[in-house]
A and B are shown apart, each in its own frame.
Chain A
Amino acid sequence: MSLTAAEVAELMRLVEQSSFDELTLEMNGIKLSLRRGSAPESSSNQAAPVPTIGGAKTPDARPPPSVTADPNVHEVASPLLGTFYRAPKPGAPPFVEVGAQVEVDSVVAIIEVMKLMNTVRAGARGTVTEILIADGQLAEYGETLMRVRKSG
């Protein structure tokens, strides 16, 4: 018996949404340790994992590593570094919400670099299952912005 990539991804999601920073699982010869990317070690911090700067050196301020070997899940990666916007302009409805049906070339977000707007397309047909970054936040190059469960 072993863990599938989808199960690992699901575990990561559970840790992500829980108030725990670490999870250690041992079963049938498998040992799996998960820790939030920016969680200070052995703290019971309940806040969302915000990358911190300065002060005590955190091991890593990067977004958590993406684990999707699940062939049915498509990760929408940021094509460049910039500010992530969910809507075409302030006050306008967002391009997509969780649950939205998208086509391969549907625009799902904007990445702004020094006032220059770059559109981000879904890249797969399916349903948006997660939006991993808040409106107006800095998205790094390659950072996972959304997940889409593929259909058809």
Chain B
Amino acid sequence: MRRVLIANRGEIAARIIRTCRELHIETVLATSAADRDSLPARLADRTVCIGPPRPSESYLKIDTIVHAALATKSDAIHPGYGFLSERAALASLCEAEGLIFIGPTAAQIAAVGDKLRARSEAQAANVPVVPGSAVTSADEAMAAARVIGVPMLVKAVGGGGGRGMKRVDRLEDLAASLELAAAEAGAAFGDARVYLERFIASGRHVEVQVLGDGHGRVIHLGERDCSVQRRYQKLVEESPAPGLSAARCQALQEAALRFAARLSYRSAGTVEFLVDCERDAFYFLEMNARIQVEHPVTEAVTGVDLIAEQIAIADGAGLRLAQSDIHTRGCAIECRVNAEDPANDFRPSPGLVHEVAWPSQEGIRVDTHIASGSTVPPFYDSLLAKIIAYGPDRASALARLRRAIASTRVDGVRTNLSFLEAVLSDREFQAGGFDTGFVARLLERRAATTEPAHNG
């Protein structure tokens, strides 16, 4: 592999370029018109403008991106996360055109992208799934719902990551929710199929990083706890999962390996689980067939460059690491710094970043595409940077992260830095091991302790 086209933007584009440089692989960055002057565009060996700012006219155009890769004589495409990363159509077009797709096969993307199919693969691999059922008719749904019990979730087969879900608290609301969910799923994912799942009231989001060679050999690189979520958007992630017993961790890791091995999974992927705090059980949620935003915490505790391993596997070098080569050490915690206003319901705050100062203390890594003078366009997600702290234990990693956040300055756009500070200084967070209801509870606590504003 001599030249890679990166079909993405933002911090992950910069992150991929960094590893490519270390491997002496040339980079071609496909950018929209809004990102032509971005930091990744300056870092890449070459930049090609693929279309207007709107993702549907640039970053989501499969034909244009493959054409750009072929015309620039690139050998491979790295899709990053989001955009086309889990679109089987891009992977299969690469396969047809003789380009290397740095990721899983088109068939694997399709298998895990269909949430019902993924559920049945999990069951076949003896991995527990949340009690639930496929739905084909209203009568059948009601029968299944009585067995599952309320509260329950109506989920889109083509959804994922919290998108395309509706909560049902009363059986009599089921029919209406099904209809609405199917209509929304059809519009959002082009697939109106939905299914039912029991709603787990108190669960931790714990996921296992895996690497596979595509021939049945898979290894895991430990777990990440991503229970700090607001409306299913992760804010803080850490590894290892605090307070999770060694036996429970091992059970999750083995389940993830069984699932990935069953698919003969190729490349880096993540198997997500819901760990039920009340029942002391865990369930398969979904598999993400891509590199994830929070991959640096795993890199920090394992010392493995996951992008480099993705590239090696894609380039035919196979899995260079055995399970016995993976040793996790210490603790890593990551914060996502977003251009959004916590005082205004976390509304996105695009604009010009006049001046920025990222932390550079010991044990701190910053993955970002934002420098002084950078623009945050309104067309994309609001992620500005990921700040990752590493320490020999959780307390020291947390102390480093708090110092790093305190020394971070971003002028020009509103950020969630103050909210991240509130998360990290919260006693429940410091204790660790909480469920995904944490952020909602924290917001309530903050609202309760804040004096009503006085006017004048």
Contact = CB atoms under 8 A, between A and B. Distances in A.
A75 interface: no
B183 interface: no
A113 B3 contact: no
The A interface, classified by DSSP as helix, strand, loop or mixed, is loop
B64 A142 contact: no
Contact of A82 (B36, B46, B64): B64
A80 interface: yes
A53 B68 CA distance: 14
Contact of A141 (B46, B52, B71, B72): B52
Contacts, number: 56
B3 A143 contact: no
A3 interface: no
B22 to A, nearest CB: 14
Contacts of B68: 81, 138
A102 B110 CA distance: 49
B55 to A, nearest CB: 14
B421 to A, nearest CB: 38
Interface string B44-85: 011111111000001000011011100110000000000000
Contact of B48 (A52, A57, A140): A140
Given A53-B28, A138-B72, A142-B33, A62 B47 contact: yes
Nearest to A81: B50
B26 interface: yes
Contact of B3 (A52, A54, A138): A54
Contact of B51 (A51, A53, A81, A138): A81
B278 to A, nearest CB: 52
The B interface, classified by DSSP as helix, strand, loop or mixed, is mixed
A141 B47 contact: no
Contacts of B26: 53-54
Contacts of A53: 3, 26, 28, 45-46, 72
B51 A57 contact: no
A60 B33 CA distance: 15
Nearest to A137: B71
A83 interface: yes
A138 B47 CA distance: 12
Contacts of A92: none
B46 A142 contact: no
Given A53-B3, A113-B67, A80 B51 contact: yes
A142 B45 CA distance: 20
Nearest to A57: B45
B49 A51 contact: no
B72 to A, nearest CB: 7
Interface string B151-162: 000000000000
Contacts of B45: 53-54, 57, 61
A116 B63 contact: yes
B33 A83 contact: no
Contacts of B46: 51-53, 61
A114 interface: yes
Given A53-B28, A61-B46, A141 B51 contact: yes
B221 to A, nearest CB: 31
Given A54-B26, A81-B68, A141-B33, A113 B49 contact: no
B125 to A, nearest CB: 37
A82 to B, nearest CB: 6
A146 to B, nearest CB: 18
Nearest to A78: B49
A142 B47 CA distance: 13
A142 B48 contact: no
B446 to A, nearest CB: 45
A80 B48 contact: no
A36 B64 CA distance: 27
Contacts of A57: 45
Contact of A83 (B48, B50, B63, B71): B71
B49 A138 contact: no
A118 B268 CA distance: 37
Interface in B249-283: none
Given A53-B3, A53-B45, A81-B48, A138 B71 contact: yes
Contacts of A81: 48-51, 64, 67-68
A51 B64 CA distance: 20
A61 B63 contact: no
B50 A141 contact: yes
Nearest to B2: A54
Contacts of B36: 62
Nearest to A38: B46
Interface of B: 3, 26, 28, 33, 36, 45-52, 58, 63-64, 66-68, 71-72
Interface of A: 51-54, 57, 60-62, 80-83, 113-114, 116, 138, 140-143
By Cβ-Cβ distance, the 6 closest A-B pairs, closest first, are A54-B26, A138-B71, A114-B63, A140-B49, A61-B46, A141-B49
Given A81-B48, A140-B50, A143-B49, 20 more contacts: A53-B46, A53-B72, A54-B26, A54-B45, A61-B45, A61-B46, A62-B47, A62-B49, A81-B51, A82-B64, A83-B67, A83-B71, A114-B66, A138-B48, A138-B68, A141-B33, A141-B50, A141-B51, A142-B33, A142-B49
7 contacts: A51-B46, A53-B26, A54-B3, A61-B46, A114-B66, A138-B68, A141-B58
